[in-house]
Amino acid sequence: MGATTMCGHYVCHIKKDQQWVIFNDQKVCASEKPPKDLGYLYFYRRVTEFNLAESTVPSFLEMSNRHTCLLILVALCLGSVRCEEFYIEQGKIVMMSCSGAPSKAIEWLYNKQPCLKEDSRTGSILKGLAQMCSTGRARMIGSDLRIAHLVHADAGIYTCESKTVRYEHRLYVISVSASPACPLLPGTEAELRCQISGGSDVKPVWLRPDGKHGETSEMGSHTLQSVDPADNGTWACQIKSELRLSLSITVLGLSSTPKLTMSQGGSVLLPCIASQSLSSIGSLRLQEGGWERLSPGPTRLLSLEKKGGQLFWNSTGVQRNTLLFEENKLDANLSVTLKKVTVQQAGQYQCFLTFQGKGTVSAQVSLEVKGQPGVTGDGPGTNGLQPKNKEGFLGLNLWVWLAVGAGCLVLTLLTIIIVYLNRRNKRMKRRARKLRSMRQPLTNRDYCQCNRNTEAGRPNGRQRDKSSVKERQR
């Protein structure tokens, strides 16, 4: 088989222990029907007491010496055929070689259907009907074939053919996924899938984050009957010893302190921390959430609301003098603080998140309030944050008396300033009156007022001088 006996790919058939074995490069398999009549080179070994009539030597190879056996090695020229296997992850790129082929007149086949062909005269590339070829994801680089953005439909047999060589490659496309998509809720059921397209005989194995083997079905899937926070981490689908695909599994949960002890009158923090940011919860749609008191009677303390895709606490109707919470957008910290706790506030509290059609995750806190006001000790499960609240004089706290004292001081200063300004104004007025009374007249008034001619007005200096001269002349 093949164009000539001087070139090509050779395989060997050997008969040992009454069984034929084929050696094809690194592959060694049992040969059920060795093509003895197509051999290119035969080797024999002489043995004693060999019955030539019972041998399986073809008629054209029968020898006159009955003590000569059939050769044990048959070298066949099967043409230039080479097969390679590729296990490539979905979305990646694969490069299949056609080394040794001439630079022109090469044709690539997909499952024996034309994919890409180079015209020997013009050098142009002709595209077949295969999806990866017609859409341009497959292209020839020299004599090699490159396929980008692999999908499961690309799996199959790719053949490179020319006048002198023929290469055959088998492509397997693999992918890993989780159903439903992450993040997962505790207690729900999930399936981890490891899909291999192309008809591979390899059975994948799932490895847990701690390295232990998980039970894997024939289809390459692993089922989590009840998701647990311990399942959080990186899982791996092992295809071969040197090939693994990783899948990150995230389990959304809420963590808190199971029991808290606080003295009456202090402040206590009710912790509630999500295992991941609530702004990146993927396909989960939050229906409601918040804090509620379960016992002795169910009471809603605080609720979540969405504004522009972000989570905030809804402060409508909340008593801020007894509850302290974050005013800005929330990420993973849903903790709140109870202020001035009383014995009546002791009980079971719950932080919860409910997702549409998925379920609810929650964390509970048991609060114990002691009757004696003040701070608690630093023992386990306690949370003493505030100093002791002691009663002040006449039933008022110290800060109230400080406020009253400061107000009185300000009022006294204002009174002093007003009195001082009033007295100052009075002094200035008396001084102004005294200055006006001491002012001297500007004209001489020692003339007779009764004989004064009011119509003529006041005489000037010349007129007085003329009248005095006339009186003297008289």
The pLDDT tens digits of the residues spanning 14-30 come to 988 888 898 887 778 88
Determine the pLDDT at residue 236. Answer: 94
Percent of the chain whose pLDDT exceeds 70: 77
- Is 197:152 a contact under the CB 8 Å cutoff? yes
342 compared with 465, residue with greater pLDDT = 342
CA-based nearest residue to 228, from 202, 253, 258: 253
Architecture of domain 81-173: Sandwich (2.60)
How confident is residue 82, by pLDDT bands cut at 50, 70 and 90? low
> Distance between CA atoms of 51 and 67, rounded to whole angstroms?
7
How confident is residue 55, by pLDDT bands cut at 50, 70 and 90? very low
What is the CB neighbour count within 10 angstroms for residue 127? 15
- Hey, what are 58's tokens? 């073809």
5 compared with 308, residue with greater pLDDT = 308
456 compared with 369, residue with greater pLDDT = 369
User: What integer best gives the mean pLDDT of the chain?
Assistant: 79
**254-370 belongs to which homologous superfamily?**
Immunoglobulins (2.60.40.10)
How confident is residue 59, by pLDDT bands cut at 50, 70 and 90? very low
> Distance between CA atoms of 80 and 36, rounded to whole angstroms?
19
pTM reported for the whole predicted model: 0.57
- Hey, what are 69's tokens? 């056996």
**175-249 belongs to which homologous superfamily?**
Immunoglobulins (2.60.40.10)
How confident is residue 103, by pLDDT bands cut at 50, 70 and 90? low
HEC secondary structure over the chain: CCCCCCCCCEEEEEEECCEEEEEECCEEEECCCCCHHHCCEEECCECCCCCHHHCCCCHHHCCCCCCECCCCEEEEECCCEEEEEEEEECCCCEEECCCCCCCCCCEEEECCEEEEEECCCCCCEEECCCHHHHCCCEEEECCEEEECCCCHHHCEEEEEECCCCEEEEEEEEEEEEEECCCCECCCCCEEEEEEEECCCCCCCEEECCCCCEECCCCCCEEEECCCCHHHCEEEEEEEECCEEEEEEECECCEECCCEEEEECCCCEEECCEECCCHHHCCCCCEEEEEEEEEECCCEEEEEEEEECCEEEEECCCCCCCCEECCCCCECCECCEEECCCCHHHCEEEEEEEEECCCEEEEEEEEEEEECCCCCCCCCCCECCCCCCCCCCHHHCCHHHHHHHHHHHHHHHHHHHHHHHHHHHHHHHHHHHHHHHHCCCCCCCCCCCCCCCCCCCCCCCHHHHHHHHHHHHHC
Terminus-to-terminus CA distance in the chain, angstroms?
A: 180
> Distance between CA atoms of 443 and 461, rounded to whole angstroms?
12
pLDDT tens per residue across span 268-309: 999 999 988 888 887 788 889 999 999 888 889 899 998 888
Determine the pLDDT at residue 80. Answer: 44
How confident is residue 155, by pLDDT bands cut at 50, 70 and 90? very high
Query: Where do the structural domains in the chain lie, given as residue ranges?
Result: 10-77, 81-173, 175-249, 254-370
pLDDT higher than threshold 70 for residue 150: yes
> Distance between CA atoms of 418 and 160, rounded to whole angstroms?
108
> Distance between CA atoms of 236 and 339, rounded to whole angstroms?
48
Burial grade of 305 (CB within 10 A; 0-12, 13-18, 19 or more) = middle
How confident is residue 170, by pLDDT bands cut at 50, 70 and 90? very high
pLDDT higher than threshold 90 for residue 35: no
pLDDT tens per residue across span 351-361: 999 998 888 99
Determine the pLDDT at residue 292. Answer: 92
- Is 270:335 a contact under the CB 8 Å cutoff? yes
Question: What's the whole-number mean pLDDT along residues 168-192?
Answer: 92
pLDDT higher than threshold 70 for residue 204: yes
pLDDT tens per residue across span 395-452: 677 888 888 899 999 999 999 999 999 999 998 988 888 888 776 555 555 555 555 5
> Distance between CA atoms of 357 and 262, rounded to whole angstroms?
38
Determine the pLDDT at residue 397. Answer: 77
Determine the pLDDT at residue 298. Answer: 86
Determine the pLDDT at residue 433. Answer: 85
How confident is residue 162, by pLDDT bands cut at 50, 70 and 90? confident
Question: What's the whole-number mean pLDDT along residues 329-334?
Answer: 90
pLDDT higher than threshold 60 for residue 188: yes
Choose the weakest-confidence range: 46-60, 69-83, 176-190.
69-83
Same fold: 81-173 with 254-370: yes
pLDDT higher than threshold 60 for residue 53: no
Determine the pLDDT at residue 68. Answer: 36
